[in-house]
Structure 1
Amino acid sequence: MKPEQLHLLNSVSAPAIHPDGTKAVVSVTRPDFDADSYVGQLWSIPLDTTKYSRRITRGFRDSSPAFSPDGLVLAFLRCDPDGKPQLFVVEAAGGEPQQITEQHAGVGGFVWAPDSHRIVFQSRVPEQGRYGTMDGVTSGGEDARLITANQYRMNGIGYTADQRQQLFVVEVPELGGEPAVAARGRAAHEQPALEMTGLPSARQVTFGDSDHESPCFSADGTRLYFVAALHEGHDDDLVTSVYRVDADGGQPTAVEPSNKSLQTVTAVRPSTDGQWLFYTAQDLGDTGKDFVARNAVLYAMPIAGGEAVALTDVEHLDVSGPLEPSGPDSVLVLNTALGSVELLDVTAVGGITPLVHGAKVVTGATVAANGEMAVSFSDASTVGDVASLERGEIRLLTDFSAPLRNNSRVVEPLDFDAESADGHPVHGWVVFPDGPGPHPVLLSIHGGPFAQYTGAFFDEAQVYAAAGYAVVMCNPRGSSGYGQAHGRAVKERMGTVDMQDVLAFLDSALASFAALDKERVGIMGGSYGGYLTAWTIAHDHRFKGAIVERGFLDPVSFAGSADIGWFFGTEYTGGTAEQMEAQSPMAVVSSVDTPTLVIHSENDLRCPIEQGQRYYSHLKAKGVDTSLLIFPGEDHELSRSGTPHHRRQRFEHILRWWARYLPTEVNNLDD
């Protein structure tokens, strides 16, 4: 794969299966260089493989499809090139989509009511006078912000206290009825502004000083459940809880188990029989802030309250939602496991059935009333596709990565296991380029650190392999998917066993494969991967070059500048000056002599740009060959969801850097 082929990467959403089990609908989205944005539409996927999939909408970016429980209506989000996502509905049998919201900040997630006549959705509510709510007042002309809280910014969003995410309920109009006509002239002056739009009125049902997440209706449709932090002192911890409010509005009530502990709840869903409340949560220790490498657990609690029972093992499973009902008292969850993401079916009494496992990354699944199931996933050969489950086996329904494979060789990563210096197992992959070698090697380190590489399609590894590089990547201690102890091994020990693991994995790969050139090795990583790259090149000088991207490079200044700085460094490195210095790449930058490209984005609030700027300036002053590559308008997610132009340009700069220090036949400065 080459950088200019980014537009061939079709991403597939979680599927929405029709209640009768005959078809599923997904959104298929791709980077588009002409629009310099992400475009995509909805596709209908028959579960009968004798029929063909087809595109059913033609919006600029249509996403998040969901059928009404009665199967008559399909709801989805539509975003114009310069607009915000709004909620649309269309008859499931086909027709013209009808817009039903006009939220200033757009619509986030949404869920149907059991009666198929209402939808609850999330939307940020900006304070009047901010974020374009007042004509003529630009962002630079807004009133000053007086900050007194720890939690006031978030990467990709900006300030949060003055634009909290709230919940709204909207009545879905009769689609077969007479279309609404916006009032004009005399009538326009006599009707309220909302009625003039011709849209149904959305009713705000929450107003608290917190972002409200994971909304859903109770089984009888009279109440809403959601996740928020509305407790006293919520600014000083990471605790979130389940709340309940009447669907018509009112005062929310916390829904807490009798055996409650300090947790952050991430998703909630009542069982369809109305007897249980499922939710996923991570323990936060005694302080409410100890988030480091905490596996998420699926719990079930009686709907009327009582003891919450853990349905999954906290040490070995790390589950996530969204929680999709699979039966009257069961839900589907995803589980991060050994470089894959599995699909599990879990009942309220604790029965667990693995449905999809192995070398796949499941991204979503839904079940029809007749038991038919649609699954979206990626693996080594696809960025995203849809399948059904038949007698426990995946039955492929789409091939959205065919254009990529037809225009570029997709390299399957080789699964590889190594042993660290203390005997700890380290799992990962090697991606080989064409030809016998020996090939220059790029040691790639993932972010997180509580995250994982997988064996599924990874655009970065494919681009580097196409340019003639072997890519070595692993999941050292600190990573997710290998048990909670594996992830927590780096708490207050960053740069110790994690560096030991990645170097042991590299050495083992170099010794095992003659096609790898042990004399020509580079190192690179982003976020925590940027941290460990910067730390490693201060201690190991074998590398011909390095790339430190959006790195966590100085725990001291990070505490005052990052959106998560008020707790992240303290929990990972420890809070004393001595602990921070002992694990700080900035403290050992004087030991670096490896040529280093530093990459950062101007709007990065997770690892603020000052981290990269200061690191670069220290290297420059020391005389190290270094460059600083800055992307305007981008945040911490540049490499994953930045504009297509910037993503392509990032790849081009990276390949140019490696052409300088690790040239190959197909990537050199003579090209």
Structure 2
Amino acid sequence: MKFSDLPLLQSVSAPTIHPSGDRAVVSVTRPNLEADAYVGQLWEVLLSGVPTARRFTRGFRDTAPQFSPNGRLLAFIRSAPDVAGQLHIVDSLGGEPTTLTEAPLGVIGFRWSPDGTRIAFTARVPEAGRYRTIEGLGPDAEPARRITSTRYKANGVGYTTDRRSQVFLLEVPRADGEPVYPVAPSVDNPKPDRRSGVPKARQLTTGDFDHGDLSFSADVGSLLVVSARHERRDRDLRTDLWHITLGKPGSRARVHAELVTGTEPNRAIRLVEQTASGAILFIAHELGRGGRDFVARHDGLFIIDRPGAPARRLTEAESIDLGDCSAVVVVDDETFLVQNRTRGALHLTAVTAGGQVTALTAGPFEVHGAAAASDTIALSLSAANTVGDVAVLRGGQLQLRTDFSGELRSAGLRPARELVVPARDGHAVHGWVLQPAGDGPHPVLLMVHGGPFSSHTVTVLDEAQVYADAGYAVVMCNPRGSSGYGQRHGRVIRRGFGTLDFTDVIDFLDGALSEFPALDADRLGVMGGSYGGYLTAWITEHDQRFAAAIVERGFLDATAFAGNSDIGTFFGQEYLGTSPDAVRAQNAQEHVQRVNTPTLLIHSEQDLRCPLDQAERYYQALRRQGVDADLVLFPGEDHELSRSGRPRHRRQRFEIILDWWERHLPVTPVPPTTPV
């Protein structure tokens, strides 16, 4: 795969399945260089017979499909260039979509009511006069912001306290109803009011707090929503479940929210679902007594069997990790489907109300979403040979129903060889090695993932494929601190950044060099982003063998990070501690004087996770001490540049990276000149 093959990366959403179980619908999106945007439509996939997939919609970017409970309608979010995504419905057999919302900043997420008559959704509500809600009043002319909280911005969003996400309710109109026509001017009515035909949504929540996932009760009379409304919400990470009574259709009565999990221990609740019998399911992780200890905590599945009962954890905390689970799928009152992260894979897992856990899939792939109906389970997955496809699970057998990555395979994908290397203390470090075509010896790039509670996985990684195609061997592993190997594995580097994580990565590199003779141990580069940028900097501060390094969107100065990152109020404090001496000992900026490795720093100007000054301070220090260093800044991008930045920026980023390696670590080594 070359960087020009970016448009072949077709991502597939979680499926929605028709109640009959005979078909599913997914969103298939991809980078488009001409539009410099992500485009995509909904695809209908038959789940039996001859594998068949057809494009179902033709919007610019159609995402998040959900069948209505009776299967007659399909709801989804449609976005246009530079226009926020709005909720639409369409007949499930096809036809012209009907627009349901006019949210100024777009719809975030939505849910059908069990009877199909209502849809609840979340959307950010801007303060009056902000975010171009008044024509002609641009961002630079808005009134000043008064900040009274310590958390007031989020990467990829910006300021949040003046555009909180709120819950709305709308009554679903008939998809085949008569359209609304514009009123023509007349003598009596020269300027008739504009009629959009979009139904009026009822705002259910207000207040200075955000609202997340939501779920209807079986009788459609209430909603559960995830939110942090407690007094300490600015000082901890707790989120709770709130119960909202809806009233009868058309009701405009004042809505009251009632706390459901107020007496429960501190948890960060992320997803919620309800069963037909009234049990409440949610995915969350424990936060400890202070409500802030998030480090490497496994998300688990919890159940509240009946109103007022305490929550029970159904999955074991040490080994079951639901942190990448996209939804709780209720098969029936006793069986629920989730996704468990393990050793670089993500597997569909069944959990019963009694706490029995059964893996439904196994193998080198990741299940990104699932849906169930009529004894059929549809799922979306990625693997070593696909970025995204749809499969069906019947009788324990997995059958692929699509081939959206055929062109990508034709462009060329290098296989990743799995490897386990014993670290210096005997710990087994797990990872992969990609080798380019040819016999070698090949220059080697050590790639470090972010997080740190994240992982390299078994599926296609565009970064590794592009570098392998360019002639570099790629070495990547999951050192201690990574996810997928148990909580203890993830938490062991708490208060110990740059210790076991550093030695695990170096030991894995040495093991790979020993295992694969085609890797050139004398030509090494190292690169990583976010926490991986931190560890890359740390490596060059403590190991001088690398010809060059690339530090991208790095967590480089914990002291500055605490004051200007969107997670600065807790991330560094929980991972590095609060002792000034301990922070200095783990802080990359404090040890920059040790670096003599040529270093390229790549950063995005709108990065609020690892703000721009993280790179600027480190870059300036390198230049002051005479290190060969470049700083590349991408305008308009945030922390997610390499994954979801503008397609042209992603392509340019690859060009810049490959140029850096060609300068400092050429695939064909330059022969030394012979003195005359």
Whether the 8 Å contact between 1:372 and 1:388 is mirrored in structure 2 is yes
Q: Which residue pairs with 2:390 in the alignment? A: 386
1:6, 1:667 → 2: CA distance? 30
- Deviations 1:340-378 (CA, angstroms, capped at 9, x unpaired): 11111112121222112221111100001x111110000
1:10-159 map, 5 Å: 10-50=10-50, 52-159=52-159
Tell me the CA shift for residue 607 of structure 1: 0.1
1:467, 1:600 → 2: CA distance? 23
Q: Which residue pairs with 1:438 in the alignment? A: 441
Q: Secondary structure at the match of 2:234?
A: helix
Q: Does 1:346 align with 2:345?
A: no
Whether the 8 Å contact between 2:216 and 2:222 is mirrored in structure 1 is yes
Tell me the CA shift for residue 257 of structure 1: 7.2
Q: Which residue pairs with 1:178 in the alignment? A: 178
1:509-528 map, 5 Å: 509-528=512-531
Q: Which residue pairs with 2:250 in the alignment? A: none
Which stretches in structure 1 are left out of the alignment for 5+ residues? none
Whether the 8 Å contact between 1:334 and 1:342 is mirrored in structure 2 is yes
1:203, 1:353 → 2: CA distance? 41
Give the 3 Å change call, closer, same or farther, for CA 143–188 of structure 1 in structure 2.
farther
Q: Which residue pairs with 2:428 in the alignment? A: 425
Q: Does 1:635 align with 2:638?
A: yes
2:93, 2:628 → 1: CA distance? 62
Q: Secondary structure at the match of 1:224?
A: strand
1:51, 1:461 → 2: CA distance? 31
For 2:217, the aligned partner's letter is S
Tell me the CA shift for residue 26 of structure 1: 0.5
Tell me the CA shift for residue 234 of structure 1: 1.1
For 1:470, the aligned partner's letter is A
Q: Which residue pairs with 1:590 in the alignment? A: 593
Give the 3 Å change call, closer, same or farther, for CA 351–257 of structure 1 in structure 2.
farther
1:92, 1:667 → 2: CA distance? 61
Q: Which residue pairs with 1:399 in the alignment? A: 403
For 2:166, the aligned partner's letter is Q
Q: Which residue pairs with 2:251 in the alignment? A: none
Tell me the CA shift for residue 329 of structure 1: 3.0
1:377, 1:581 → 2: CA distance? 42
For 1:101, the aligned partner's letter is T
2:174, 2:557 → 1: CA distance? 57
Q: Secondary structure at the match of 2:326?
A: strand
1:83, 1:304 → 2: CA distance? 42
Whether the 8 Å contact between 2:185 and 2:192 is mirrored in structure 1 is no
1:656, 1:545 → 2: CA distance? 12
Whether the 8 Å contact between 2:120 and 2:169 is mirrored in structure 1 is yes
Give the 3 Å change call, closer, same or farther, for CA 667–222 of structure 1 in structure 2.
farther
Tell me the CA shift for residue 274 of structure 1: 2.4
Q: Does 1:325 align with 2:324?
A: no
2:658, 2:670 → 1: CA distance? 7
Whether the 8 Å contact between 1:257 and 1:301 is mirrored in structure 2 is no
For 2:232, the aligned partner's letter is G
1:188, 1:301 → 2: CA distance? 57
Whether the 8 Å contact between 1:38 and 1:61 is mirrored in structure 2 is yes
Tell me the CA shift for residue 556 of structure 1: 0.4
Whether the 8 Å contact between 2:184 and 2:192 is mirrored in structure 1 is no
1:113, 1:184 → 2: CA distance? 37
1:188, 1:115 → 2: CA distance? 41
Q: Does 1:363 align with 2:362?
A: no
Whether the 8 Å contact between 2:65 and 2:76 is mirrored in structure 1 is yes
Give the 3 Å change call, closer, same or farther, for CA 24–584 of structure 1 in structure 2.
same
Among candidates 240, 261, 266, match of residue 265 of structure 2: 261
2:292, 2:135 → 1: CA distance? 41
1:108, 1:303 → 2: CA distance? 29
TM-score (norm 1): 0.97
Q: Secondary structure at the match of 1:535?
A: helix
Q: Which residue pairs with 2:413 in the alignment? A: 410
Whether the 8 Å contact between 1:257 and 1:305 is mirrored in structure 2 is no
Give the 3 Å change call, closer, same or farther, for CA 48–461 of structure 1 in structure 2.
same
TM-score (norm 2): 0.96
- Deviations 1:55-77 (CA, angstroms, capped at 9, x unpaired): 01110000111100001000111
Q: Secondary structure at the match of 1:321?
A: coil
Q: Which residue pairs with 2:232 in the alignment? A: 233
- Deviations 1:609-642 (CA, angstroms, capped at 9, x unpaired): 1000110111111111110010000000000000
Q: Which residue pairs with 1:334 in the alignment? A: 339
- Deviations 1:353-412 (CA, angstroms, capped at 9, x unpaired): 2112221111100001x1111100000000000000122121000000001112x21112
Q: Secondary structure at the match of 1:580?
A: helix
- Deviations 1:593-615 (CA, angstroms, capped at 9, x unpaired): 00100000000000001000110
1:305, 1:190 → 2: CA distance? 56
Give the 3 Å change call, closer, same or farther, for CA 135–594 of structure 1 in structure 2.
same
Tell me the CA shift for residue 576 of structure 1: 2.0
1:580, 1:507 → 2: CA distance? 29
Whether the 8 Å contact between 2:240 and 2:262 is mirrored in structure 1 is no
For 2:80, the aligned partner's letter is D
Q: Which residue pairs with 2:674 in the alignment? A: none
1:296, 1:239 → 2: CA distance? 13
Q: Which residue pairs with 1:197 in the alignment? A: 196
Give the 3 Å change call, closer, same or farther, for CA 190–221 of structure 1 in structure 2.
farther
2:183, 2:302 → 1: CA distance? 50
1:301-312 map, 5 Å: 301-312=304-315
1:208, 1:217 → 2: CA distance? 21
Q: Does 1:508 align with 2:511?
A: yes
1:522, 1:38 → 2: CA distance? 31
Q: Does 1:285 align with 2:288?
A: yes
2:670, 2:647 → 1: CA distance? 22
2:506, 2:408 → 1: CA distance? 33
1:666, 1:533 → 2: CA distance? 23
Percent of aligned pairs with the same amino acid: 50
1:615, 1:556 → 2: CA distance? 13
Of 316-325 and 546-555, more deviation after overlay is shown by: 316-325
Of 647-656 and 319-328, more deviation after overlay is shown by: 319-328
Tell me the CA shift for residue 51 of structure 1: 5.0
1:624, 1:247 → 2: CA distance? 63
Q: Secondary structure at the match of 1:356?
A: coil
Q: Which residue pairs with 1:563 in the alignment? A: 566
Q: Which residue pairs with 2:467 in the alignment? A: 464
Q: Which residue pairs with 2:165 in the alignment? A: 165
Q: Which residue pairs with 1:375 in the alignment? A: 379
Q: Secondary structure at the match of 1:582?
A: helix
For 1:415, the aligned partner's letter is E
1:600, 1:531 → 2: CA distance? 13
Among candidates 543, 552, 557, match of residue 546 of structure 2: 543
Which stretches in structure 2 are left out of the alignment for 5+ residues? 248-253, 672-676
Whether the 8 Å contact between 1:468 and 1:667 is mirrored in structure 2 is no
Q: Secondary structure at the match of 1:607?
A: coil
- Deviations 1:309-339 (CA, angstroms, capped at 9, x unpaired): 1110100011133112122332211111111
Give the 3 Å change call, closer, same or farther, for CA 243–192 of structure 1 in structure 2.
farther
2:601, 2:116 → 1: CA distance? 52
Q: Secondary structure at the match of 2:88?
A: strand
Whether the 8 Å contact between 1:30 and 1:39 is mirrored in structure 2 is yes
Q: Which residue pairs with 1:578 in the alignment? A: 581
- Deviations 1:641-663 (CA, angstroms, capped at 9, x unpaired): 00000000000100001111111
Whether the 8 Å contact between 2:423 and 2:503 is mirrored in structure 1 is yes
Q: Secondary structure at the match of 1:422?
A: coil
Tell me how large the CA RMSD over aligned residues is. Answer: 1.6
